[in-house]
Amino acid sequence: MHLIETRNLCYSYPGSVKALEGINFIAPRNSRIAVMGSNGAGKSTLFKHFNGIFKPTAGTVHIRGEPITKANIREVRKFVGIVFQNPDDQIFAPTVALDVAFGPTNLGLDEETIHHRVEEALRITGIEHIADRVPHHLSGGEKKRVAIAGAIAMEPEVLVLDEPTAGLDPKGVHDLLGFINDLKKKSGMTVIFSTHDVSLIPEIADYIYVMDKGRIVAQGSVAEVFVQTELLRSVRLDVPLYPKLIQSLQEKGIPVEMAFTFEEAETAFLEAFKGRS
């Protein structure tokens, strides 16, 4: 049984063209799934089906093997936490700390647990220093961190992050990567995220879906997807820097092993240049 499974999911916005067509998406337990796609591909629309914000026009969404219904929607929202692309869509409370506490309070947790979760979420997202500020007056990246902290504090089993790094500074991106990679080791939390920053994907993801015009046009491991250079280009996407560089060197007859992450690339280059002065 998969945590999330969509079967032939289709969605049309009222009076508009189809935004999703025949999506078969699976999120296994403890996976890190990246969803790639150019602007308008349907990433955000798909994500909003994962906790019942949108209802499919056709097809189904199953959470832990059960379709989403009115009777289980509260449970589903506890189970699947979403950070929207635009943080203004989910920040309401008068202070940052109260905003982050909103979800855990709604879960009916005791005060000590709420306090602990809020502190931890503020620490992970690096925003302890703005805990008492009015969210409305924060910068874009600060708001993004507040929205992420709010979702983390809920401790959902599936964390869905729509463009989590957009607007974050390099330290913010680095910390978020560290947090997601730590989650894999510490808890069984599953993470689904979208990003236009392709170089981040190999550092986190173990599976990738590529979307274009509401459909899934490719899927597979990092190594399977990022060698499909032509396909990616045809849907206005790019290949990360390391495989791109290595492919170009290989075409010039320089033998460097294919690599996708920083660590893999470092090893591949050291190996290729071993023994040379």
Interface residues with Mg ion (CB under 5 A) are 43-44, 85
Backbone region of residue 82 per phi and psi (left: phi > 0; alpha: psi in -120 to 50; beta: other values): beta
- Report the site for ligand ATP in 69-98 (rule: CB under 6 A): 85
Q: Is 237 in the site for ligand ATP (CB under 6 A)?
A: no
| Rounded Cα distance, 176 and 124, in Å | 8
- What SS3 class is residue 149? helix
User: In the complex with ligand ATP, which residue's Cβ is closer, 13 or 273?
Assistant: 13
Shortest distance in whole angstroms from residue 127 CB to ligand ATP: 24
Contact with ligand ATP (CB under 6 A): which of 19, 152, 159, 268?
Answer: 19
Residue of the chain from 4, 31, 33, 42 that contacts ligand ATP (CB under 6 A):
42
- Selection from ligand ATP, Mg ion, none that 51 binds (CB < 5 to 8 A by kind) is none
Both tokens of 126, joined, read 């690096």
Q: Which does 45 bind (CB under 5 to 8 A by kind): Mg ion, ligand ATP, none?
A: ligand ATP
Query: Terminal CA-to-CA distance of the chain, rounded, Å?
Result: 54
Q: Smallest distance from the beta carbon of 195 to ligand ATP, in angstroms?
A: 9
Q: What whole-number distance in Å separates Cα of residue 194 and Cα of residue 83?
A: 11
Nearest CA to 212 out of 35, 80, 90 is that of 35
Q: How far is the CB of 11 from ligand ATP (least distance, A)?
A: 8
Structure tokens at 91: 């920040």
Stretch that binds ligand ATP, among 2-10, 42-50, 93-101, 148-156 (CB under 6 A): 42-50
Q: Assess 13 for contact with ligand ATP (CB under 6 A).
A: yes
Tokens of 128: 């302890």
Mention every residue, 6+ apart, whose C-beta is less than 8 A from residue 242: 199, 202, 259, 260, 261, 262, 264, 265
- 44 near ligand ATP, rule: CB under 6 A: yes
Query: Kind and range of the H or E element at 270?
Result: helix 262-272
Q: Which residue has the tokens 């206005």?
A: 236
- Shortest CB 265 distance to ligand ATP, Å: 27
Nearest to 167 by CA among 191, 137, 189, 147: 147
Name the one range near ligand ATP by CB under 6 A: 33-41, 105-113, 151-159, 218-226. Answer: 33-41
Contact with ligand ATP (CB under 6 A) among 39, 69, 112, 137: 39
Using the contact rule CB under 6 A, the part of the chain among 41-49, 89-97, 152-160, 172-180 near ligand ATP is 41-49
Q: Considering only the stretches 13-21, 184-192, 233-241, 263-271, report the one whose residues sit in contact with ligand ATP under the rule CB under 6 A.
A: 13-21
For residues 116 and 57, give the distance between their C-alpha atoms in angstroms, rounded to a whole number. 41
Give all strands (DSSP E) within 110-203, no chain letters: 158-162, 190-194
Q: Is the CB of 130 or the CB of 217 nearer to ligand ATP?
A: 217
What is each CA distance from 223 to 101, 119, 141, 185, 240, in whole angstroms? Answer: 40, 38, 31, 22, 11
Residues found near ligand ATP in the complex (CB under 6 A): 13, 16, 19, 37, 39-45, 85
